[in-house]
Amino acid sequence: MSGLRELYQEVIIDHSRQPRNFGVLLDANHHKEGFNPLCGDKLKLYVVEKNGVIEKMQFEGSGCAISVASASLMTEVMRGKTRAEVEAIFNDFHQLVTHGHNADVESRLGKLAVLAGVAEYPARVKCATLAWHTLKAAIADDPQAVSTE
Amino acid sequence: MMIDFMTLRADFPLLQQKNRGKPLVYLDSGATNQKPQSVIDAMNQYYISDNANIHRGVYELSERATYQYEKVRHDIKEFINAAHTEEIIFTAGTTAGINLVAQSYGRSKLKVLDEIIVSAMEHHSNIVPWQLLAEQVGANLRVVPITDNGEMDLEAYEKLFTARTKIVAIAHASNALGTINPLKQMIQIAHAHNVPVLVDGAQAFPHMPVDVQDLDCDFYTFSSHKAYGPTGVGVLYGKQKLLEKMPPYQGGGDMIESVTFARTTYSKLPFKFEAGTPNISGVIGFGAAIRYLQQVGMQNIAVHEAELLAYATQQLVTIPGLKIIGTAAEKVGVISFVLDGVHPHDIGTILDDHGIAVRAGHHCAMPVMERFNVPATVRASFGLYNTHADIDALVSGLKDVLRLFK
């Protein structure tokens, strides 16, 4: 598969067209805005966390296919995860999109592995990680808005 | 003189390479353009045989470097038809020129509640320096709106003038929309209110003949790197009578006449505004770029790029779902567009895979994006080396975008 076909494979196009868990979550106990000033990607992330476990997560906003698909996949994967698990997945995901294919990392990440192709396009890593940095700041209750710059 | 633009491409060594395994199609000259061999050679030659600090040495080498540097000032004065060589001030680029005027002219002339007119199509570099000035002196920014096709709203412009208006700062051509503004008319209106005008010429200077006396602008600023010269060099043109009264912007060597701890007196123009050792090799490279432009001819370049723009516009509108942002009657070779259902950033990546370099983003003109209610656009911008084949490649790349996202 060429780099480009891998980057824009069906799962990614599908999640960018029909993002899962999209919309405001009124009972969120964490929420955060993320912004990529370079390309204008913007998202708001809403998290319901109970007893250290992510119960629900939703997002809204607009952006490129990579940033929307990454946010959509993240909200699916994070449901039911503890803070420690969130941290571990974050680190694996970051490793994947910056360094590319790695069998161990991909087996741990499951369907998130579709984003491995991003590593070939360094300029797009920020798109893929915007939602993730926003999540990290949201559960840390960091008062600053997240910006990739 | 007839110029065969097809052959000019060979003057640009960088354009001979491949991008992601495909022949490079460079459509980002609005960001920076590529350099002809003669510019690269001139800079190399300077370091190989003429490098010395200027305006100081009594030795031959320094005299030679000084001569070459000052020759470029003279050549640029001729090129833009300034009245005096001292009106040409070397800067680090267009942004530096605007900041110089905002801080030197602006801070000495503007007071609390005075007004600065800018337009809604400005690059951030012709907005932020004025906002900084406004904060420093308590002045206000007034913004000329733009019409739906991306033209300056001249009626609204004229109404913005009040007794408090102290300066107008406008682009000659918009980097995000391509619009060429009716400068002469806008300058006449400002002058009728006794208000000076600064022109951000970054996007116009490399694409058409510029005559500062004919325009009657008070300041005109441009960059070398968008005009086939090296980065880190630019020019601020200012009318002598204004520049003479302006206080220095930065202090340092070269801009003084005498220094004691009690009192420093400053050099005459243009050196008053050129503190420190300048970018000598950059200026010499810019000089070579000007010679290259003169050989090709600015009128020839304007005609060639207008023809490319017409062809590209005609081809792009055939792509389903494509909308051009900025459809002014007078445009430089810049086409900003959006495509239904596909984010500009994704388009940029897919085109890159076809060897095509375009810009995707807000083009440092966030107010323009807001005005047209888009988060970003794709921008293809042309230089004298572009051809119909480049535009055909763009169209074919965009068809592939549609296939991937269908």
**CB atoms B349 and A124 under 8 Å:** yes
Architecture (CATH level 2) of domain B40-295: 3-Layer(aba) Sandwich (3.40)
**CB atoms B343 and A7 under 8 Å:** no
Mean pLDDT confidence for B184-207: 98
**Shortest alpha-carbon distance between residue A13 and chain B (Å):** 7
Task: Return the minimum-mean-pLDDT range out of A143-147, B213-217, B338-342, B363-367.
Answer: A143-147
Q: How many angstroms separate the CA atoms of B366 and B362, rounded?
A: 6
DSSP string for residues in B181-245: P-HHHHHHHHHHTT--EEEE-TTTTTTS---HHHHT-SEEEEESTTTTS-TT-EEEEE-HHHHHH
pLDDT-derived band of residue A3, with 50, 70 and 90 as boundaries?
confident
Mean pLDDT confidence for B248-269: 89
Residue of chain B with shortest Cα separation from A11 = B405
What end-to-end distance do the CA atoms of chain A give, in Å?
A: 32
Instruction: Determine contact: B57 vs chain A, CB below 8 A.
Output: no
Q: Which domains does chain A have, with CATH numbers?
A: 3-144 (3.90.1010.10)
pLDDT-derived band of residue A149, with 50, 70 and 90 as boundaries?
low
Residue ranges, CATH 3.90.1150.10, chain B? 5-34+297-399
The pLDDT assigned to B20 comes to 87
Task: Establish whether this prediction's ipTM goes over 0.90.
Answer: no
Residue ranges, CATH 3.40.640.10, chain B? 40-295
**CB-count burial class (<10 Å; 0-12, 13-18, 19+) for A113:** buried
pLDDT above 90 coverage of chain B, percent: 91
pLDDT in tens, B140-168: 999 999 999 999 999 999 999 999 999 99
Residue of chain B with shortest Cα separation from A127 = B345
Amino acid at A4: L
Instruction: Determine contact: B346 vs chain A, CB below 8 A.
Output: yes
The pLDDT assigned to A1 comes to 53
What end-to-end distance do the CA atoms of chain B give, in Å?
A: 48
pLDDT value at B404 more than 60: yes
The CATH class, in words, for B5-34+297-399 is alpha beta
**CB atoms A13 and B346 under 8 Å:** no
pLDDT in tens, A129-138: 999 999 999 9
Residue of chain B with shortest Cα separation from A2 = B353
**Shortest alpha-carbon distance between residue A35 and chain B (Å):** 12
**Shortest alpha-carbon distance between residue B29 and chain A (Å):** 19
Q: How many angstroms separate the CA atoms of B34 and B52, rounded?
A: 27
Mean pLDDT confidence for A103-108: 95
Could you list the active site residues of B?
A: 364
3-state secondary structure chain A: CCHHHHHCCHHHHHHHHCCCCECCCCCCCEEEEEEECCCCEEEEEEEEEECCEEEEEEEEEECCHHHHHHHHHHHHHHCCCEHHHHHHHHHHHHHHHHHCCCHHHHHHHHHHHHHHHHHHCHHHHHHHHHHHHHHHHHHCCCCCCEECC
Q: Which of B348, B347, B346, B365 is nearest to B357 (CA)?
A: B348
Mean pLDDT (chain B) is: 96
- Residue A47 phi/psi, 5° resolution? -130, 130
pLDDT value at A15 more than 60: yes
The pLDDT assigned to B307 comes to 97
- Chain A residue numbers with beta carbons less than 8 Å from the beta carbon of B361 are 38-40
pLDDT-derived band of residue B75, with 50, 70 and 90 as boundaries?
very high
Instruction: Determine contact: B120 vs chain A, CB below 8 A.
Output: no
pLDDT in tens, B309-330: 999 999 999 999 999 999 999 9
Most A CBs within 10 Å: which of B345, B374, B401, B404, as the mutation test of the A interface? B345
The pLDDT assigned to B278 comes to 96
pLDDT above 90 coverage of chain A, percent: 83
Q: How many angstroms separate the CA atoms of A30 and B393, rounded?
A: 47
pLDDT value at A40 more than 80: no
